[in-house]
Amino acid sequence: MNTSTSRPLGGSTSTRPPAATTLSSLLAQANSLNEVEYDSELPQIRFGIDDIERMSEAVAGRGKRTKNEKGEGFNLLSNLGVNTSQLTHNIAQLPSAEPSARPRRRRHHVQQQQTRLEPLGDIGPAYAVGDADIGAWGRNWHEMIILGGIEAQRQKTINTFQKQFQQRLLQNWEIEKARVLQDELGVTDDELAGLTGSSNGASGLASSTLGRSALGASTRRFPMAQSSLGKSSSESREGGLVMHTKMVRYERVIGELNQRRLRKEPFELCQALEETVKGDSKYPLLPTAYHLLAHLTQEPSLRDSLDGYASASDASYAPGEPVQERQYAAAYLGDQRSNHATLLRGRLVMGGRRFLERDFERHVDETIAKNPKEAALGGVPGIRNKIRAFVDVTLRSKDVRDAYRSESVNGSLLWAQTYYLVRCGYINEALNLVAENQNHIAREDWTFPGAFKSALQSSERRLPKSQRDQLYNDFNAHIRNNPNVDQFKYALYKLVGRFELNRKALKVATTTEDWMWVQLSLVRENKDGDAPQEQYDLVDLAKLVTKYGNDKFDANGTRPFAWFNLLLFTAQFEKAIAYLYSKPQLKTDAMHFAIALSYYGLLRVSAKGEEAELLLTDDADVSYLNFPRLIKQYISPFFRLEPQTALQYAYLVALAADAPNPAVGQKQKQLALELVRDIVLASRSWSKLLGSVRADGSKETGIIERDLQLLKLTDEQDYLRQVVLAAAEQSSLDSSLTDSIELYHLAGAYDQVVEAVNRSLGHSLGLSSSQPLSSDAQSIGLSGAFGGVNDVYGLAQRVHDVYEKDFAKRTRVSKIHWETLEVLLQLKLALSQFAADRPDLALETFKSTHLLPLDNDPTSISRYAQRFRDMLDQPVISNLDEVIVTTMKCLHMLSQQLKASPYGDHGRMVQLNVYKHQAQCLIQFASTLRLRLGPDVYRQLSSMSAFF
């Protein structure tokens, strides 16, 4: 056949080779591939040529049977009368479901687009043939399902992570934005709350770490005085001015408090704080809260103004004695089952009851003043006449009298007047009133006057058992279930006999204050002889109040002091401060309430640092307040500009240093010292806060040293170690040379002074001698003995001169640091001389340091190298590269000057040889320190040695 005469349309001259030839060539190529080393990038042959031929025949045969043979199913349907031809035609017309029913081979570009893995394992011919191998098809389908599940889970995990990451990012952004707005831009708390605009934002701020960082957030004195985001408004300016005035008044009280503490004089802190906030138009109940706290702590002037209240339960706290600093700390912070703790709770209960009684008496006076005609008081009446007038005013209407079922005895409302006399705290007047009308009392109430007298004259208001049983029988018979009983008589029976403590509410107690007075009247701390159902103490009352929650008393947040006062009444002081602090406009007041409580020892503080949460509660349901955090947040806006005022608050952190738990006390003392240290470092008012030491050795005492007692420090050495030296070490870590030098000098750590100077001078050897210390040093400058210098070299010289003249200071500097200082001063001088184009002077100065073998003695090279390894300090070692290179440059310049001289004499040749010999010794010395010098040093030395 002549293949040359016919061409395919494609223009190719080759013909298709036979199939056998193609398969044979494929087999030969496959065998050749198997003989070489395995390459992961080359394709691998899965089947041999025989397998491929057999599988091809099977496919071809099945295709023929499908087309030509009817099969058993076809014959069976035909025998049954089914129109198989029509059925075949209908089946052929159906759309093919194969693409969706059988998995396809995923192509490479699809894999790149979806970034999914291929199915694992040998999937066989199922990719090419749908029905040839059911097992391969099943394996492929199973693998795809597994990979699909893995991919779905991976996408779910990624989406969850991205969502959480976005939430955390937004939360951190809100916290940081709030800090910047408050500290840097002076946005008020109300304005910030308006910016957040949602409860989520508020809760995020409440749980944030705002204010936990170290001091340094702001330099504004009163950021609250700033108006809305820099836009002035009269309302915001007025609010800022009010807050400014209040803070200044508070600071005066705190300053007076610390002065009294230094003189060990008692101070009525609560009443002083009350005077500060009197007339507060926005929160008129704020002075009342301070007055309540004054009653709870029983400050002397309030105690002395109340007659007839002393009882045996207060024997350990004599009414005439003033309350001292931390007087209640041992009882409040110690074992709550001890006698002292029981007495303290009784004292707090009595103080709260007295406050409510005095407050109700003021209410009586106001009611009478508003209704003078109905009261018909006249003259200068006593308390009984005032109570009679008050009863006439409040019970004048028939509806009110019917509501209380008021009973008239001998022409007067005896039970109402007696109850209100007890409510105002006038026990003797109430007893006299009952005694005067005893003959007119009904027969069923004859046991009451005797029981009334016994209970009110008892220190614990306790009745003898026989008398109580008799009164209880009368109560059950005539009072308990009588719908027409006088409610005032019912209340008196309940208060005297302490009956039905599970039902402590009284109809006559219509206000929160009345309800709390009833509870405090029923409370009894001494449980000896009481049956379980008769036990009711201050802890039980606190649990009852907590059960009600603040929503019952301050539902809309408009009456914060209603709930705050209840917490004070029940001795839940830590929770009370935390609640008040949650109100943005009352944070300043909450902090000063905490100061008053801490001063008297009525505040539990945590052993954790100031980074902890504001309020912590342990497993025993005991609450602890993070008092240092409150102080730190309060002083953060002004501690830089007014460090003296900030110190007055920082001293208060150390109040809890006497805590019964030594770990807590030590932690509070340490936090106070750290806060003082931060204030010192931020303000940099060394001479004012810490004092100064002059060049002649005389010392000027600073503010902090005069207030050592407030920091619980024993002596001057303790102060130097705990405050000054700690501040110096912190400033050294912050790489502040001026701060660390002066503070180390003040602390008497002269060795650290020289070490810091050496370190700084070593870093500046390669700089110009006029290089300044820092921008801060230029504006602040050093005071005391080192004042007047503005560069590192001048400071090092001043330190050397001061210590060299004072033998006591010189002996406290280690030998290696002193020698290093002298060597560095010489090296700095030599480098300055070389920079001034005086290589001759520089070479002599280098030689005087005795660092380099410049004495023309080759045997001394090893001795110099050993001295370098053993005796020199790091600032010298780190500059040896530049010293050696500069010395070689001096030798090179001097030798070149001699060579260029027109005079040739024997002396010049001798000097040239000396320079050459010194250069050789210098190179040998450098070779012994190969691992301590940079590679560029040897290159420069080699290049310059060629000129000798």
Give me the DSSP letters along 475-537.
IIIIITT-TTS-HHHHHHHHHHHT--TT----TT--SHHHHHHHHHHH--S--TT--GGG---
Considering only 105-119, 188-202, 230-244, 777-791, which range has the smallest mean pLDDT? 105-119
Task: State which H helix or E strand residue 637 sits in.
Answer: none
794 pLDDT higher than 90 = no
Residue ending a domain, choose from 519, 548, 577: 548
Question: What pairs with residue 228 in β-bridges?
Answer: 231
- Does some domain include residue 100? no
- Does some domain include residue 478? yes
- Does some domain include residue 98? no
127 pLDDT higher than 70 = no
CA–CA dist 258, 655 (Å, integer): 11
- Report, as an integer, the average pLDDT of 396-415: 89
Query: Is the CB of residue 818 less than 8 Å from the CB of residue 810?
Result: yes
| Number of domains composing the chain | 2
Helices and strands (DSSP H and E) totals, the chain = 48, 4
Residue ending a domain, choose from 548, 578, 606: 548
pLDDT by residue (tens digit) across 628-668? 999 999 999 888 889 999 999 999 999 999 998 888 999 99
Question: What pairs with residue 691 in β-bridges?
Answer: 701
3 pLDDT higher than 50 = no
At residue 774, the pLDDT reads 44
DSSP 584: G
Query: Is the CB of residue 722 less than 8 Å from the CB of residue 673?
Result: yes
- Report, as an integer, the average pLDDT of 406-429: 92
- Does some domain include residue 912? yes
At residue 453, the pLDDT reads 92
Query: Is the CB of residue 734 less than 8 Å from the CB of residue 793?
Result: no
Per the prediction, the chain carries an average pLDDT of 78
At residue 460, the pLDDT reads 84
199-206 and 134-179 helices, crossing angle to 10°? 80
At residue 45, the pLDDT reads 58
- Does some domain include residue 743? no
CA–CA dist 123, 678 (Å, integer): 71
At residue 695, the pLDDT reads 62
What confidence tier does 344 reach under pLDDT thresholds 50, 70, 90? very high
- What torsion do the CA atoms of 28, 34, 37, 41 make, to the nearest 10 degrees? 90
- Does some domain include residue 70? no
**Percent of the chain that is helix, strand, coil (3-state, to 5):** 65, 0, 30
At residue 569, the pLDDT reads 96
- Report, as an integer, the average pLDDT of 842-857: 84
Q: Which two tokens stand for residue 562?
A: 């209603």
> Which span out of 139-153, 195-209, 509-523, 898-912 was modeled with the highest average pLDDT?
509-523
- Report, as an integer, the average pLDDT of 409-425: 93
368 pLDDT higher than 80 = yes
Which is more confidently placed, 716 or 872?
A: 716
CA–CA dist 919, 885 (Å, integer): 11
3-state secondary structure of 205: helix
Share of residues in the chain with pLDDT > 90 (%): 32
Considering only 356-360, 491-495, 758-762, which range has the smallest mean pLDDT? 758-762
What confidence tier does 93 reach under pLDDT thresholds 50, 70, 90? low
pLDDT by residue (tens digit) across 256-293? 999 999 999 999 999 999 999 998 888 999 999 999 99
- Does some domain include residue 42? no
At residue 632, the pLDDT reads 92
946 pLDDT higher than 50 = yes
Phi, psi of 815 (to 5 degrees): -60, -45
CA–CA dist 262, 254 (Å, integer): 12
What confidence tier does 216 reach under pLDDT thresholds 50, 70, 90? very low
627-635 and 587-600 helices, crossing angle to 10°? 130
Which is more confidently placed, 674 or 220?
A: 674
CA–CA dist 801, 52 (Å, integer): 99
Residue ending a domain, choose from 521, 548, 575: 548
- Does some domain include residue 499? yes
3-state secondary structure of 691: strand
pLDDT by residue (tens digit) across 892-914? 898 888 888 776 677 788 888 88
pLDDT by residue (tens digit) across 555-600? 777 889 999 999 999 999 999 999 999 998 899 999 999 999 999 9
Q: Which of 776, 744, 770, 775 is nearest to 757 (CA)?
A: 744
Residue 449 burial (10 A CB sphere; 0-12, 13-18, 19+): middle
Domain that holds residue 394: 345-548
What DSSP assignment string belongs to 775-807? HHHHHH---GGGTT--BHHHHHHHHHHHHHH-H
501 pLDDT higher than 70 = yes
CA–CA dist 783, 694 (Å, integer): 8
At residue 177, the pLDDT reads 73
231 pLDDT higher than 50 = no
163 pLDDT higher than 90 = no
Residue 515 burial (10 A CB sphere; 0-12, 13-18, 19+): middle
pLDDT by residue (tens digit) across 23-82? 667 777 767 665 555 555 555 556 667 777 777 777 666 554 444 455 666 676 676 667
> Which span out of 199-213, 715-729, 732-746, 865-879 was modeled with the highest average pLDDT?
715-729
pLDDT by residue (tens digit) across 663-710? 899 999 999 999 998 898 888 777 788 877 666 667 778 888 889 899
Share of residues in the chain with pLDDT > 70 (%): 75
Phi, psi of 55 (to 5 degrees): -65, -35
942 pLDDT higher than 50 = yes
